[in-house]
Amino acid sequence: MNRRRVYKKEPPKRDRSNDVPEFVEANKGTVQFINHQLLASPDTVHWGYVSADLEPVLTMQAGQYVTIHTVSGSKAKLPDKDSAFEILPEHKRIHRKHKPKLGPHILTGPIHIQGAQPGDLLCVDIFDVEVRQNWGWNEIEKGVGALPKLADENEVIHIPIDINSGMVKLPWGEEIKAKPFFGFMGVMPHPEEGELSSLIPGYFGGNMDIAAFGINCKVHFPINVPGAGFSVGDGHALQGDGEVVGTAVETALTGRLRIDVTDNCGVKFPFMTMPGRMVATAVARSVDRAITVALNEALLLLTHYYKISKKDAYRHLSILGDVRISQLVNTAVGVYIDINTEALIPAEAD
């Protein structure tokens, strides 16, 4: 189902009710604290694609919270109904009403942020991410992945997850702690791009598959359309860099987020910040090109947010920056640069 919306220019709005602790304390009893709930349902998802023409399923003010739920996988990825694995009822309802278009990911959203405009940054503060079902799936697909000749047929396996303990039971080994995150987080692309596959990440974010973008970090997205149009999906309980098979432990997640709007320093791709750490990203058709773009994005970020020259930032990346591959198997190559910023002086500091 395509939901289309005509965007209109809006004056910037800002809800302070979920802001700094001193504001909250001073306004207890007088301010309505808003935590939006966005369930995964046939009316709140789009399957396999992103587009500026998608109509938002939720509108909220900048600075507010949202608890958002996702599901993962087509009907072929579901376990047998007589197994011990729970299949969420909304997952089945989504399958009955929707079919995949261009890509494989079932995405919850988009969310319209009032006042967000092209040229701004959408700041997504990730407070919590939890697994919401007792299983995940992994598929080795014939002709797909970093070693496409390894498998001669498609094979899906189901991996047990203990929701209470947060442990994943590997079929070939022991239990290991889940590290859940959304493989897909993104805003809508430029209107002239039309409909784009959810499989291929880009300047809008999307299928970035960066496990570092989990709990207790802020992910920033350059905004391309009024309202931003933020969507999430492709939940993972565990995933390694590169996701070499093409899938990880794919599962349904719940995330608690705070979404805000801020000025853009000039970056073209999403980036992440947390105390003592910054991650720059880029996507290109080749590894070399992706690394070059990511390095330049990192230089821009370091010189904007910290008191450091461009040449010293370049040295800093060589000393305390790790260049890593996030995407190998989804047409475009994704690269991220994980930067230790503990010793750097913020630009606003005296």
Digit-coded pLDDT (tens) for 46-96? 999 999 999 999 999 999 999 999 999 999 999 998 899 999 999 999 999
Per CATH, the number for 272-340 is 3.10.28.20
Extended beta strands in 170-288, E state: 175-177, 181-186, 196-197, 205-207, 217-222, 228-238, 249-250, 253-263, 271-274, 277-284
Residue 37, beta-bridge partner list: 67
What is 21-264's CATH number, 1.20.1270.30, 2.40.50.100, 2.40.110.10, 2.60.120.580?
2.60.120.580
| Arithmetic mean of pLDDT, 299-317 | 98
The greatest distance separating any two alpha carbons of the chain, rounded to the nearest whole angstrom, comes to 64
Digit-coded pLDDT (tens) for 183-194? 999 999 999 999
Intrachain domains 21-264 and 272-340 with the same fold: no
Q: For residue 34, what pLDDT is reported?
A: 82
pLDDT band per the 50, 70, 90 thresholds, residue 18: very low
Q: Answer yes or no: is pLDDT of 304 > 70.
A: yes
Q: What is the mean pLDDT of the chain?
A: 91
Q: Answer yes or no: is pLDDT of 24 > 80.
A: no
Closest CA to 196 of 237, 238, 154, 231: 231
Q: Where do the structural domains in the chain lie, given as residue ranges?
A: 21-264, 272-340
Which of the residue ranges 1-10, 312-321, 334-343 would you say has the lowest mean pLDDT? 1-10
Measure the CA–CA gap between 107 and 86, rounded to whole angstroms.
20
pTM of the model: 0.90
